[in-house]
Each structure stands twice: as structure tokens, then as C-alpha cells.
Amino acid sequence: MADVPPDDFTEAQLDECEAVLQYRFRDRVLLRRALTHSSVSRTRLDSNERLEFLGDAILGTIVCEALFEQYPESPEGELTRIKSVVVSRATCARLTRRLGLQAFLRLGKGVAHRDRVPGSILAAVFEAVVGAMHLDGGLQVTKEFVLRAIGDEMNRAAESATGVNYKSLLQQLSQKAYGETPVYSVLDEKGPDHSKCFKVSAMIGARVFEAAWGPSKKTAEQRAANNALFQIEGKEPPEPVD
């Protein structure tokens, strides 16, 4: 990727970027700044760093509200787990690549090597674009863009963040740390026979972890296992295991 002088954005390039975003900026200075890395800006205030700061907060708010509405039966721990995956640097970088925003970036020498841009920079660009869009058009248009871009990521994370088998991970951790095999208990179920939801908790010895709901026992067990991992990895003091 060639280095680009600080002000070398053509109107055609901005038009193309706006087409990708499905949003036309009223103030294109915001869009230019969102696409400008500090390595090529005159000062850090001319780069996308402040917009990244704002966009990170806006993105989190939009995702939290969407998760709260879409998963009314999920407890706070499960929603936190999903959000952490959806707004992660890895996800934001992946969205930048998917949208093709890297083609519009302004980068200084040494930042991009053989057309490969570091994931941290790609993630920052997505957050900066969110911040710029919020300042330019308000929360509603930003929400529409974010949910359009990130909807599949939320659904995927709700089922299994990064596709990991959480039951297997919990079993490995439990056997190594406690010499115990986790067991799962169905605490509740709702709905007609053809469309039941199940509430399941994971247990290691005498310790009962936060329960999780799922459209099947298998899914609920995976989510319950992840809740247990979340609590354990959150460095909560382990309770005695009988």
C-alpha cells in the first residue's frame, strides 16, 4: 500500500467510501479524519484517534442495547460475554476488511508492510468511522450502520463466541484445577413442546455457576459452560469443591 500525502483524498475516493458505508457525509472532514492514521497526520489531533475514542463508546452502547432487546432471557453475564466478542478488536478489524475500508486508509511509512495493515489499525478505523458518523448524522443513522455491519457477528457470538466448544474447555479446566468433571442441571424450561427454551447451570463440585437460557439443552449447556469460564477467568475466588 503506497503512502498517501495528508490531503490527497479525491472526491471520487470519498464517493466510493461513502457507497461502501451506505451513508453520505455532510461534513467530509470527519470522514477524512476517520481514515487518517496518526503516522501520516500533521498532528495527533488531525488523526482518527479522538474519533476512535468516541466510536468505541458509541459502538458499545449500540451493541448493548441491541443485545438487551434481542435476548430478553439472557442474564447480564451472558450479554457481557457476547458484547465482549462483538466489540473486540478482532471483530472490528474483520469488519473493516469485510467492508474494504483498508483501501481508503492514509498510512505513513513503515505502518503497512506488503499491503498488510496491522489488525489494531483496522479495528481503530471501524471505531473511528462509527464516531465520525455519529457526529455527522446522529445516533439513529449510526445505529443502522452498526447493526447492518455487525448483525451476523452478534448472532454468531450468541451461539458460540469464535466457535469454541465451551463445555470441552470447561471440562479441561475443571479436571486440571479441581480434579472434577462439570455436570449440568436443567433449572427451568419454558414454551410449548415444539419450541421450548431451557435454563441450565454448570456445576463443579459444590460450586454452581450462573445459569444460561438456550433454545435447546445443548445450546444452553454451551452457554452455561461459558458463563462458568467467564466467572472463573474473571478471577473470582473459587469456592471449596467437595
- 56 assigned to active site: yes
DSSP string, 127-187: HHHHHHHHHHH-HHHHHHHHHHHHHHHHHHHHHHGGG--HHHHHHHHHHHHHS---EEEEE
Q: Are 128 and 55 in contact (CB under 8 A)?
A: yes
Spatial distance between the Cα atoms of 95 and 91, rounded to a whole number of angstroms: 6
Spatial distance between the Cα atoms of 234 and 180, rounded to a whole number of angstroms: 20
Point out the catalytic residue in the list 11, 73, 127, 242: 127
Point out the catalytic residue in the list 7, 16, 56, 76: 56
Task: For 214-230, give the secondary structure using H, E and C.
Answer: ECCHHHHHHHHHHHHHH
Task: For 44-106, give the secondary structure using H, E and C.
Answer: HHHCCHHHHHHHHHHHHHHHHHHHHHHCCCCCHHHHHHHHHHHCCHHHHHHHHHHHCHHHHCE
Would you say 52 is a known binding-site residue?
yes
- 115 assigned to active site: no
Spatial distance between the Cα atoms of 186 and 199, rounded to a whole number of angstroms: 6
Instruction: Report which of 50, 30, 38 is spatially closest to residue 111, judged by C-alpha positions.
Output: 38
Which residues are the active-site residues? 56, 127
Residues making up the binding site: 52, 127
Residues making up the binding site for Mg(2+): 52, 127
